[in-house]
Homo-oligomer: A and B are copies of this chain.
Amino acid sequence: MQNCIKNVLTLIVLMFVVCGQVAAAENAGTTLAALSDVQKYERAIHIMAMLLVGFGFLMVFVKKYGRSALTATYLLVSVSIPLYFLKENFYGFGGTEGLIDKLILAEFAAASLLICAGAVLGRLKMGQYMLLGLLFVPFYALNEWIVLNGGLGLVTGKVVDTGGSIVIHAFGAIFGLAVASSMTTLKEYDTPIECDDTSDRYSLLGSMVLWVFWPSFCAALVAPADVPRTAVNVILALCGSTIATYFASVKLRGKVSAADIANATLAGGVAIGSTCDIAVPGTAFAIGILAGVVSTFGFAVIQSRLTEMTKKVDTCGVLYLHGLPGILGGVAAMFVVSGINFGAQLSGILVTVVIAAVSGLVSGKVIAALGRRSVPYLDDEEFEGEAVEEDEDQPCVVAADSI
């Protein structure tokens, strides 16, 4: 399989060297437009911090899995960004955006892929993560084209989704769940993935990096004059979900769960995505609170029941952090935005769910055909050196009803 992936990547490199000749910018000197592009660049760097440090460390909670999670993050980003970029440069398919817009769109694709990978974390080898990236990006681009650019005429009218609640978060989460469901077997289900509490601080580091730069994610492509409002809305939504997560976690579990704090606090950012540049601050705060409650409820109540019912494992709980809050955000737009095209918004959500589910199921089968894990993956299979034993006082398991 290693060879197979290597061949595909080699092909991509070749195509890229041949086709990937982005026309050199021809701006000269310091103009308002050039400065505005540099500001987008700043936000693109913030998003990169979210992709590598944010998502990477948020996933370092699986036991004996730190090196793999971070290496997988590196590889997923490095495969998806050039691949998406390549697509942008085929005539007729690539948009007319400037170079930095294309970079940001490529980062969005990488973000969605990392969300997707969270669902199968600990079940894939490195090569399979790369394969997942190669399969994911074309489907992601297809959905983006259909939902946001009217491709194939399936969605008629404007879908409100500036910060990607629907096409980035919900798409990635559902694709990942479909991959997990088409890959895993009953035997795998019985072998829980252990996480360890010593990694809490790493997860919280990742979580905080995501929280901090989230406004740049949502405001990445908005006009300069709309950046302040967007930023304030995103920050208020995140404040709302953070406070709500604390109260919901105490209420639903009796004690606070550090995993809830690391994850559900971010649900406000996910849900405000669709309306981040349109909502008024009070509404943004309220959407954040709602998203925090829904997400914490998902982690604390739904996760264990759904896992037992379906016998499928969603390692990082992407359904509860990205799936449900993403759809919530897309639906909230119908209540918040005046003059919204209800039909377009609704069909945008539905099309996204369907494409993600179907393409995820197909991708899962392809990946499984190239090697399937009956037991969870440990660092030391692919990495030099033994997996480091952390303190084991309090192993928690991400599976079955033991959650």
* Nearest CB in chain B to that of A225: its residue: B27
- Within the complex, which residue of B30, B77, B385 is in contact with A223, where a contact is CB–CB below 8 Å? B30
**Residues 254-270 of chain A, each 1 if its beta carbon lies under 8 Å from chain B, else 0:** 01111001000100000
Query: Which residues of A, 44-84, contact B by the 8 Å Cβ criterion?
Result: 44-46, 48-49, 52-53, 56-57, 60, 66-67, 70-71, 74-75, 77-79, 81-82
For A20, list chain B residues within 8 Å (CB). Answer: 280-282, 285
A160 located at the interface, meaning its Cβ lies under 8 Å from any Cβ of chain B in the complex: no
* Nearest CB in chain B to that of A33: its residue: B30
CB distance from A347 to the nearest CB of B (A): 28
Chain A residues near B (Cβ < 8 Å): 2, 6, 9, 13, 16-22, 24-25, 27-39, 41-42, 44-46, 48-49, 52-53, 56-57, 60, 66-67, 70-71, 74-75, 77-79, 81-82, 85, 98-100, 102-103, 126, 130, 197-198, 200-202, 204-205, 208-209, 211-213, 215-216, 219, 223-229, 231-232, 235-236, 238-240, 242-243, 246-247, 250, 253, 255-258, 261, 265, 280-283, 285-286, 289, 382-386, 388-391, 393-394, 396
A258 touches B77 (CB 8 A): no
B282 touches A21 (CB 8 A): yes
Do A232 and B202 contact each other (CB < 8 Å), given the known contacts A36-B30, A71-B258, A225-B25? Answer: no
Interface-central residue, A2, A18, A247, by most chain B CB under 10 Å: A247
B228 touches A285 (CB 8 A): no
- Within the complex, which residue of B67, B98, B215 is in contact with A228, where a contact is CB–CB below 8 Å? B98
Do A225 and B16 contact each other (CB < 8 Å), given the known contacts A24-B280, A82-B236, A103-B232? Answer: no
B30 touches A82 (CB 8 A): no
A282 touches B49 (CB 8 A): no
CB distance from A259 to the nearest CB of B (A): 8
Bound Cα distance from A242 to B9, whole angstroms: 13
